Structure 1
Amino acid sequence: MSTTTPADYLPTDRTVPTRSRERASYDREAVHSVLDAAYVCHLGFIRDGRPVVLPTLYARVGELLYVHGSTGSRPLRTAGREADAGLPVCLTVTHVDGLVLARSAFHHSINYRSAVVHGDAYPVTDHDERTMALDAIVDHVVPGRSADSRRANTKELAQTAVIRLAIEEVSVKSRAGGPNDEPEDLRLPHWTGVVPVTSGYGAPVPADDLAPGIEPPGYLPAG
């Protein structure tokens, strides 16, 4: 039996878009790339029969996503309430890469990359897995930071919940390139093109109560 990981995830009815199917991909590396490049995801679920979407921190560890939150949070408190049933969720991550300005208002668009993960989320209750997951979430935001900070104590851990979501039913959708104007609009006297959108880091700003002599660690961006 082969143990080789397939290069692509399998498409499903929920991951195949109804429009612009050519923009969808199930490539494993593309999915991981989009997930790994963001800090915040949006977690969607149903509460009391109504849809709810919450922004929260997360981290990918292999083929699992770990999502962090408060034990007072409804989805984290509800996940896995029944032994064999997780909480149905939809987790999304989106990057905006450019503003696409066309000659017509209809063809204005955005260059983007997005990942959408469907599945059932389960609570992480094992102490070692919880510790690993929380370290991974900290290091996902700032690589190297978990080893350079105090870990959560018993009281803090009691206030912290982590849920786990397998990356199985997932797709990436993206757009790149310039405007797609209609042929009859090409002579219109309006500027058209793409305005790139980028992100960056500023120089670290020390806390007001930082002790003298403590310099920014090397894993922080210089700004």
Structure 2
Amino acid sequence: MSIKSILKYGLCIVLIFSAYAFAGHRFEKRTVKDVTVSFTDSKALFISEKNVNKLLIQNIDSVESIALEKLDLNEGELRLIDNAMIRGAEVSVSLEGEVNVLVEQRTPIARLMLSSQVYLDADNKIMPLSTEHTAFVPLVYGYKESFNEKLFELINFINDDSFLKPSITQISFDKKGKVTMQIRAHDHDILLGKIEDLQHKAMNYKAFIAKMKKDNRLNQVKTIDLRYKNQVVSIKK
């Protein structure tokens, strides 16, 4: 290869690296133009966009004052994920200085009526109440940590059943972990007993409700007892 060719290739390499260096220098000098916050489910916000912004740009007054080179995306994501209302978060930034934040919130599935009320979430973890929004989920009384797995099983069973999900408003445990439930539409209790054979108990309950509706006697029922395997026992008002 001739000296001219070597010099030519060398010059090309220098120009390429110079272009990258120039682009990198321009990127470093840019500041954040705007922050866009999106939620995977925006129907019920347990944390506001304003608070997401505060977590992202902690201890800085305005996004316009942040240089892109000083914006630590990983640290910002970790701060967001550490928040009690957030399950996951992704933060990205464009060359134009636009920061995009995608937030996945935690999902409450029950409200535990303890001395300090909390939620149980869809990952079977305790979640604090939100000042932004109240979740419309079943209220749980008599909760103990030892009941946790069975409660989680019951709530998921209810949520997977289109007939039960809109109906159950309250779940109460006795000291032995046996359950009584209250429903929304009618003033009667359901004695579920132990959290077992749920499919069979639900089938018996639906059949009983259908029969009472057909006979126009549902409003006469005070208690529906599902604790017995082969029968449903009811108590009149």
- TM-score grouping bracket, smaller chain normalisation: under 0.3
Q: TM-score, normalised by structure 2?
A: 0.21
- Bigger Rg, structure 1 or 2: 2
More strand by share: 1
Q: TM-score, normalised by structure 1?
A: 0.22
Structure with more contact order per residue of length (Cα contacts < 8 Å, sep ≥ 6): 1
More helix by share: 2
